Structure 1
Amino acid sequence: MSAPTVTRADIQQLLASTGEDPVLYLKAGPDNEGGPLEVDVWVSAYVSHARVLVHRHEVVDAIGDAPDDDDVDEYLSELEQTVEDVAAALA
């Protein structure tokens, strides 16, 4: 499966999440029942560890909880390899 692109909006959605230990993860299609990989945010307790890209607390540690666009863009470039690795493992 090809890896999707993580966007600023995805990082902002993760940072805005009020759930307990939210994560950015890959799901297979809109309902996670098959299809192209997509990026989504959910509570880590309900997401398979193998699908997790990053926990909210990791993003906050790296760029803070109110980063500017430049900080987010830099973080996205660092996250690219993780996205590729997780997508490859799910193939």
Structure 2
Amino acid sequence: MPTYLIEREIPGASQLTDDELRGITATSNEVVSCLERPYEWRHSYVAGDKIYCVHDAENAEDVLEHARRGGFPANLVAEVSAVFDSTGPRSLPV
């Protein structure tokens, strides 16, 4: 299943409290369970006024549907074509 990077512009994102982040988590998990198709939210990063999420989905339309149902912005949805770190390239999950 492809992996997608989602950029969400949320003014004040870096000031969200743990409780607010838990609320986002609960909403996202609820939407994932209702999608009735393969979908996995791996993790997210908060940086400034943005949240960057890594999701596995069959296609970008499913990522956009998750965002729509959850009331989340999805300013950029990009399929990940390669992963690398300090040790070099890694294989993408199948």
With the length of structure 1 as denominator, give the TM-score of the two structures: 0.29
- Report which of the two structures shows the higher radius of gyration computed on alpha carbons: 2
More helix by share: 1
More strand by share: 2
With the length of structure 2 as denominator, give the TM-score of the two structures: 0.28
Instruction: Using CA pairs under 8 Å that are at least 6 residues apart, name the structure with larger relative contact order, 1 or 2.
Output: 2
